[in-house]
């Protein structure tokens, strides 16, 4: 038998290490400090009450057996628990683990009575005082890889997310920071990674939490003097997903506590996934030590989806809901709303609802009316892409021909008309219009607009073309 508290506890640790996973050993036993050994009673210090309760719920039988083995039949264990309090009475208190007789060694763990007045917030996501620690992932099952449409705009982010999902904590992508503008799928991809990990590794604890929720929980923990419990709760997570991490900007104490949680998770091979509206280099109000850690892994950009991806997203959503829409309506939505996937999907939902409630057929005219009302600021004007598409359909030309360098008369005429309506119906610069039409300069666009105006005054058939096209393009 050991005669010092250090040697007794080290002997216990050798047995414990052989009976649990290495990760669990590092998380729950390495932080424990042996304090004293008197009268066959070994006192160990644990960082918080939450830590003590986790040991009681998950490892009490093992602890009792190793203590009995090391200290003999009369051996007992006492916990010295650091109180979350900065006042002068912040001394550790003890909870005794009673000695077991031989029959009790074979029985299930015995719960230890507590007479404490502290606020026991063990899990920020459940009601304080609940005995059972049960971490809900907070993942949305509808945000999966299956319904995340891949395109050039998101290929790197999706591929790296997929790699993380297959080997959480085991890739160079730790942390994985997904950044991009509003409504481009950051949250969807983060949830998809979490769901895939849960499906493949059901024993891993996955948690999704918004940055503001995290900050509010931390404030509550400070009020309740339970910061240690808050930290240890997050340190036991296997895969931590923090959404909109840019909201930590300016919150020094929140950044500080997240820094320590981040370090613990990273050092222990846990996976961290972050989303943000901008890359680390552009984040303002964030501590440099935190930003440097954000750069450790991979920062993957989610760009605005190109036309083909937008059409694919709409078709995927329609297929998932078992609905069909005319091709020209789908194309109109994809052309008209080109910067925000969430807004585009919302427009589709609104269109379906309007058609259902008003018992109207879904037509291009209804789509135009709806888009004007739904996204007044971003989609009141048609896009250059949509104008080109309508003009090409009207003249039965492939859009690639319009953007080519060919000088065929019918193609040149269609290209000039597209430039004319782009200048008239959008706020785009002449240079931008030219770049959409095969890399033409602003002088070429200006010449095209003058040519169209002149022909409309001298060529009746040409004027009919313009009137027909304007009707097709005008948002009612």
Domains in the chain with CATH codes: 5-105 (3.30.300.180), 155-302 (3.40.50.300), 307-379 (1.10.8.60), 384-473 (1.10.1750.10)
**Angstrom distance (rounded) from CA 432 to CA 440:** 9
Main-chain dihedrals φ then ψ at residue 466, nearest 5 degrees: -65, -40
Q: Which residues are CB-neighbours of 58 under 8 A, at least 6 positions away?
A: 28
What torsion do the CA atoms of 419, 424, 428, 431 make, to the nearest 10 degrees?
A: 40
Main-chain dihedrals φ then ψ at residue 59, nearest 5 degrees: -130, 10
Quick one: tokens of 444?
Answer: 């070429």
DSSP string, 361-396: ---HHHHHHHHHHHTHHHHSSPPHHHHHHHHHHHHT
> Which DSSP symbol is given to 257?
H
Q: What is the pLDDT along the chain (476 residues), one digit of tens a residue?
A: 456 888 888 888 988 888 888 877 888 888 898 888 888 888 888 877 777 777 877 788 888 888 888 888 888 888 887 654 443 333 444 444 544 443 443 333 333 333 333 334 355 555 343 333 457 788 988 888 888 888 888 888 889 999 999 999 888 888 999 998 887 889 999 999 999 999 999 888 899 999 989 998 898 888 888 888 888 889 889 999 999 998 898 888 999 999 989 988 998 889 999 999 888 888 888 888 888 888 888 888 888 777 788 888 888 877 776 777 778 888 888 877 766 777 777 778 777 777 767 666 777 777 777 776 665 544 445 778 888 888 888 888 888 888 888 888 889 999 999 999 988 888 788 888 888 888 888 889 989 998 998 888 888 888 888 888 888 887 53
**Angstrom distance (rounded) from CA 172 to CA 136:** 27
**Angstrom distance (rounded) from CA 227 to CA 241:** 20
**Angstrom distance (rounded) from CA 134 to CA 142:** 22
DSSP-based three-state secondary structure for 205 = coil
Quick one: tokens of 462?
Answer: 């040409």
**Angstrom distance (rounded) from CA 160 to CA 239:** 15
**Angstrom distance (rounded) from CA 341 to CA 349:** 12
What torsion do the CA atoms of 285, 290, 291, 297 make, to the nearest 10 degrees?
A: -150
């Amino acid at each position: 038998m050991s005669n010092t508290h250090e040697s007794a506890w080290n002997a216990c640790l050798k047995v414990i290490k052989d009976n649990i996973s290495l990760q669990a050993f590092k998380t729950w036993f390495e932080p424990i400090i042996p304090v004293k050994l008197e009268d066959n009673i070994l006192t160990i210090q644990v960082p918080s009450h939450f830590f003590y309760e986790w040991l009681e719920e998950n490892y009490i039988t093992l602890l009792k057996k190793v203590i009995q083995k090391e200290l003999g039949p009369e051996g007992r264990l006492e916990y010295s628990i650091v109180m979350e309090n900065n006042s002068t009475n912040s001394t550790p208190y003890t909870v005794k683990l009673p000695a077991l007789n031989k029959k009790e060694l074979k029985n299930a763990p015995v719960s230890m009575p507590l007479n404490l007045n502290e606020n026991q917030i063990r899990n920020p996501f459940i009601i304080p005082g609940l005995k059972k620690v049960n971490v809900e992932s907070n993942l949305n099952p509808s945000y999966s890889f299956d319904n995340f449409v891949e395109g050039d705009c998101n290929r790197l982010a999706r591929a790296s997310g997929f790699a993380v999902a297959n080997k959480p904590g085991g890739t160079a992508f730790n942390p994985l920071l997904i950044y991009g503008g509003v409504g481009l799928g950051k949250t969807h991809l983060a949830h998809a990674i979490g769901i895939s990990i849960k499906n493949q590794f059901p024993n891993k604890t996955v948690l999704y939490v918004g940055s503001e929720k995290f900050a509010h929980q931390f404030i509550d923990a400070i009020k309740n003097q339970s910061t240690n419990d808050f930290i240890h709760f997050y340190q036991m997570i296997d895969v931590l997903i923090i959404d909109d991490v840019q909201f930590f900007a300016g919150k020094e104490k929140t950044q500080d506590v997240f820094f320590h949680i981040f370090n613990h998770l990273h050092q222990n091979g846990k996976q961290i996934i972050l989303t943000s509206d901008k890359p680390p280099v552009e984040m303002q109000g964030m501590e440099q030590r935190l930003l440097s850690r954000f750069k450790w892994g991979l920062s993957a950009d989610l760009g605005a989806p190109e036309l083909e991806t937008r059409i694919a997203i709409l078709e995927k959503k329609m297929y998932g809901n078992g609905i069909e829409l005319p091709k020209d309506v789908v194309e109109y939505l994809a052309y008209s709303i080109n910067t925000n996937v969430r807004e585009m999907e919302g427009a589709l939902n609104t269109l379906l609802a309007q058609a259902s409630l008003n018992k109207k057929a879904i037509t291009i005219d209804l789509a135009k009316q709806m888009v004007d009302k739904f996204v007044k600021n971003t989609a009141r004007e048609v896009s250059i892409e949509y104008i080109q598409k309508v003009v090409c359909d009207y003249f039965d030309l492939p859009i690639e021909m319009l953007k080519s360098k060919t000088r065929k008369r019918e193609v040149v005429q269609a290209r000039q008309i597209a430039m004319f309506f782009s200048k008239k119906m959008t706020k785009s610069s002449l240079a931008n219009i030219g770049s959409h039409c095969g890399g033409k300069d602003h002088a070429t666009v200006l010449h095209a607009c003058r040519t169209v105006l002149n022909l409309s005054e001298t060529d009746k058939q040409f004027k009919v073309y313009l009137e027909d096209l304007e009707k097709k393009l005008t948002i009612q």
